[in-house]
Amino acid sequence: MRSCATIRFKNDNVEVETTTTGSLPTLEQLFRDSAEDLKRYFAHRHEGREAVEDLVQETFLQMAKGMEAGSGSGSERKVECPRGYLFGIARRMSVAAWRQGGKDRGLRVISEVKEMAAPVEDDRVVAARETMAAMEPLQREVLEMRFSYGLSYAETAAALGIPVGTVRSRLHHAVAEVRRRMEDDDVL
C-alpha cells in the first residue's frame, strides 16, 4: 500500500509529513512507480507511442516545475498525495491536448474511446463496458483511476480535484450501476 504524504514547498525548504508509515517518494521514485500507469492513461486517450512518451515526460516536467516554483516563491505550497497530484497534472494535459487537437505537438487524437480487448468474448465484459460508456464522465473516470491505475481514494480525489467522500460515493454508485445492469441483463 502506498502512503500519502504532505509536501510543503516553502522558500528553499521542503517539509514532509507522512500520513501513514512509509517515506515520501522522490520525483525519481515517483517516476519509477507511476510512469507505466501514466503511459497507459495517455495511450487510452491519445494515439502514437511518441506522443504518449512526450505527454508522460511533460507531466513529470510540470510536476518538477511546480515543485521548483513552490520552493522559490516565498509562499508555501502544499501537495497532498504526490501520485494523485501527478495524475491531476496528466488529466489536465490530456484535456489540453484534446482541445488543441494535437496541432502543436503532432498528436493524432483518437476520436473514439479505445476498448481493451478481452481474451475471450464475454457477455459480462460487454455489459460492463456498455454500462461504463453510458456513465457520466467523472463517474467513469473515478472507476478508471481506481481500478485501471490503482489509485487510492485520496490519490483519485487529488487527481480529480474533488473530496474523498465524493470519490467514495461516485465509486459506490458506479459499481452498483454496473452490478444492477449485469443482473438486469442476466449476465451475472
Beta strands 5-10 and 13-18 are antiparallel
Tell me what pLDDT residue 59 has.
92
Q: What are the grid coordinates assigned to 115, written together? A: 476498448
Same domain, 105 and 150: no
For residues 110 and 121, state if they share a domain.
Answer: no
76 with 121, same domain?
A: no
Structural domain boundaries enclosing 8: 1-114
**pLDDT value, residue 172:** 94
Q: Supply the pLDDT for residue 64.
A: 84
Same domain? For 178 and 92 the reply is: no
Residues 45 and 86 in one domain: yes
Q: How many domains does the chain have?
A: 2
Q: Tell me, what CATH number does 174's domain have?
A: 1.10.10.10
Q: What is the pLDDT of residue 187?
A: 67
Task: Render pLDDT for 71-83 as a digit per residue (tens, 0 to 9).
Answer: 555 555 567 788 8
- Please, what's the b/e burial string for 173-186 (b: 16 or more CB within 10 A of its CB; e: otherwise)? ebeebbeebbeeee
Residue 162 cell numbers, joined: 474533488
Using the 3D structure, point to which of 97, 114, 131 is the last residue of a domain. 114
Query: CATH code at 28?
Result: 1.10.1740
- What pLDDT, on the 0 to 100 scale, is given for residue 51? 85
Tell me, yes or no, whether 143 and 64 share the same domain.
no
Which residue carries 483518437 as its cell? 110
pTM, rounded to two decimals:
0.64
- What pLDDT is recorded for position 154? 93
In three state form, how does the secondary structure of the chain look?
CCCCEEEEEECCEEEEEECCCCCCCCHHHHHHHHHHHHHHHHHHHEECHHHHHHHHHHHHHHHHHHHHHHHHCCCCEEEECHHHHHHHHHHHHHHHHHHHCCCCCCCEECCCCCCCCCCCCCHHHHHHHHHHHHCCHHHHHHHHHHHHCCCCHHHHHHHHCCCHHHHHHHHHHHHHHHHHHHHHCCCC
Q: Which residues of the chain have pLDDT under 50?
A: 1, 3, 5-21, 104-114, 116-118
